[in-house]
Structure 1
Amino acid sequence: MSYFMYDVMGGTVDEPDPEMMRRLLDGLAQADDEHPDVSLTHESGWCLSVFGGGLLVWENPDDDSVKPGKMRNVARKETLRLFGLLAAGDIASIEELPWQR
């Protein structure tokens, strides 16, 4: 399975390991209005975006029939767990969560 992450400045990192995912999340400390998030995108088109303060957005920009979901106050540990699930292609486990749509 293929996946990649965008860092807070929009740079791409192909198939980051868990340590690199942690470092990219650390980059949220430098987030601003123009560069507010870090995201992981799977080859299926599904994407998790993380914003400062624990906002997590789950969406598939390639599929207009699915509304984006949001969760607030998501802990860093849970965000990293979800990144791991998405990197592995386990879309179903992420989709089961209580997303606000």
Structure 2
Amino acid sequence: MLDGLAQADDEHPDVSLTHESGWCLSAFGGGLLVWENADEDSAAPGEMREFGREETLQIFGLLTAGDIASIYALSWQR
């Protein structure tokens, strides 16, 4: 999944996964993660920087499993 970042360009700078609840996790080159829900106005987007590949894959795994609460509880900068 993260191998797509090796071919990142201006049009496709990230890889992302969206849960059926509307929560979306995007990973950008350089270790930037963005956590947001475009369907929920009251939920401010958050970001984390300098995340490693394994940590990023673990968070994507949590989203795949539907564990929104665990991801939301991480130290997102808002």
TM-score, length-scaled by structure 2: 0.96
Unaligned runs of 5+ in 2: none
Unaligned runs of 5+ in 1: 1-23
- Percentage of identical aligned residues: 78
| Matched positions, count | 78
Q: After TM superposition, where is structure 1 displaced by more than 2 Å over at least 4 residues in a row? A: none
2:61 and 2:4 map into 1 onto residues whose CA distance is: 18
- Other-structure match for 2:75: 98
- Other-structure match for 1:32: 9
1:48 and 1:29 map into 2 onto residues whose CA distance is: 18
1:40 and 1:75 map into 2 onto residues whose CA distance is: 17
TM-fit CA distance, 1:47 = 0.6
TM-fit CA distance, 1:75 = 0.7
2:39 and 2:18 map into 1 onto residues whose CA distance is: 11
